[in-house]
Amino acid sequence: MNDNPQMELDFHDIVTDPNLSRREFLKALGGGIIIFFCIGDSSVLEAQRRGRGYPEDFNAYLRIGPDGRVTCFTGKIEQGQGAITSLPQMLADEMDISPDMVDMVMGDTAQCPRDMGTFGSMTTRFFGPPLRAAGAEARKVLIELAAEQLQAPQERLATENGVVFDKENKDKKVTYADLAKGKTIERHAKEKPPVKDPSAFKVMNKPFLRRDSREKVTGKAQYAGDIRLPDMLYAKILRPPAHGAKLKRVDTSAAEKMEGVSVVRDGDFVAVLHKSPDGAAAALARIDSEFDVPAATVDDKTIFEHLLKNAGPENVRAQDGQLEEGEKQAETVVEQTYLDGYKAHAAIETHTALAQVEGSKATVWASTQTPFPLKDQIANALGFKPDDVRVITPFVGGGFGGKSAGQQAIEAARLAKAAGKPVQVMWGRDEEFFYDTFRPAAVVKIKSGITKEGKLALWDYHVYFAGDRGAAQFYDIPHHRTSSVGSAFGGGPSPHPFATGAWRAPANNTNSFARESQIDIMAAKAKMDPIEFRLKNLRDERPIRTLKAAAEKFGWKPAPAPSGRGLGVAVGIDSDTFVAQIAEVEVDKRTGKVRVKRIVCAQDMGLVINPEGAAIQVEGCITMGLGYALTEDIHFKGGMILDRNFETYELPRFSSLPKIETVLLDLPNEASHGGGEPAIITVGAVIANAIHDATGARLLQLPMTPDRVRKAIAAIA
Partner 1 sequence: MGVIVYSKPVTGKGVHMAETIAFTLNGQPVTITTDGQRPLLWVLRTDLGLTGTKFACGQSICGACTVLVDNKAVRSCVHPVRNVAGREVRTIEGLSTNGELHPLQKAFVEHDALQCGFCTPGMILAAYSLLQENPEPTREEIIEGMDQNLCRCGAHTRIIDAIQDAAAQMKGGKA
Report, in Å, the least distance between residue 117 CB and partner 1: 16
Report, in Å, the least distance between residue 202 CB and partner 1: 21
Q: Pattern of binders to partner 1 over 369-398, x per CB under 8 A? A: --------------------------xxxx
Q: How many residues line the site for partner 1 (CB under 8 A)?
A: 80
Q: Catalogue the long-range contacts made by 295-301 (C-beta closer than 8 Å, 24 or more residues apart).
A: 295/638, 296/242, 296/637, 296/638, 296/639, 296/640, 297/638, 298/497, 298/638, 299/635, 299/636, 299/637, 299/638, 300/341, 300/342, 300/441, 300/633, 300/634, 300/635, 300/636
Q: Which is nearer to partner 1, 416 or 524 (CB)?
A: 416
368 binds partner 1 (CB under 8 A): no
Q: Name residues contacting partner 1, limited to 654-673 (CB under 8 A).
A: 654-655, 657, 659-660
What Å distances lie between residue 390 and 169, 227, 366, 458, 565, CA to CA?
Answer: 49, 15, 10, 54, 57
Among 23, 45, 191, 260, indicate the residue that binds partner 1 (CB under 8 A): 260
Q: Which is nearer to partner 1, 583 or 624 (CB)?
A: 624
Q: Which is nearer to partner 1, 182 or 267 (CB)?
A: 267
Report, in Å, the least distance between residue 68 CB and partner 1: 24
Q: Name residues contacting partner 1, limited to 337-356 (CB under 8 A).
A: 346-350
Among 172, 206, 429, 593, indicate the residue that binds partner 1 (CB under 8 A): 429
Is 303:641 a contact under the CB 8 Å cutoff? no
Q: Name residues contacting partner 1, limited to 32-91 (CB under 8 A).
A: 79-82
Among 499, 612, 665, 671, indicate the residue that binds partner 1 (CB under 8 A): 612
Of 110, 36, 635, 39, nearest in space to 365 by CA: 110
Class of residue 214 by CB neighbours under 10 A (exposed 0-12, middle 13-18, buried 19+): middle
Class of residue 149 by CB neighbours under 10 A (exposed 0-12, middle 13-18, buried 19+): middle
641 binds partner 1 (CB under 8 A): no
Q: Which is nearer to partner 1, 352 or 494 (CB)?
A: 352
Q: Segment contacting partner 1 (CB under 8 A): 46-54, 113-121, 188-196, 262-270?
A: 262-270
Q: Name residues contacting partner 1, limited to 300-339 (CB under 8 A).
A: none
209 binds partner 1 (CB under 8 A): yes
418 binds partner 1 (CB under 8 A): yes
Q: How far apart are CA 624 and CA 95, in angstroms?
A: 36
Reduced to 3 states, what is the DSSP secondary structure of residue 605?
coil
Instruction: Determine how β-strand 352-358 pairs with β-strand 361-366.
Output: antiparallel
Q: Which is nearer to partner 1, 39 or 609 (CB)?
A: 609
Among 275, 328, 385, 452, indicate the residue that binds partner 1 (CB under 8 A): 275
Among 653, 666, 707, 714, indicate the residue that binds partner 1 (CB under 8 A): 653
Q: Name residues contacting partner 1, limited to 215-254 (CB under 8 A).
A: 215-223, 225-226, 228, 234, 252
Is 130:138 a contact under the CB 8 Å cutoff? no
End-to-end C-alpha distance for the chain, whole angstroms: 53
Q: Segment contacting partner 1 (CB under 8 A): 137-145, 293-301, 415-423, 534-542?
A: 415-423
Report, in Å, the least distance between residue 214 CB and partner 1: 6
Is 611:665 a contact under the CB 8 Å cutoff? no
The b-or-e profile of 435-454 (16+ CB within 10 A means b, else e) is bbbbbbbbbbbbbbbbeeeb
Counted residue by residue, the chain has a size of 717
Reduced to 3 states, what is the DSSP secondary structure of residue 72?
strand
Is 32:184 a contact under the CB 8 Å cutoff? yes
646 binds partner 1 (CB under 8 A): yes
596 binds partner 1 (CB under 8 A): no
256 binds partner 1 (CB under 8 A): yes
Q: Which is nearer to partner 1, 13 or 532 (CB)?
A: 13
Helix (H) or strand (E) holding 692: helix 683-695
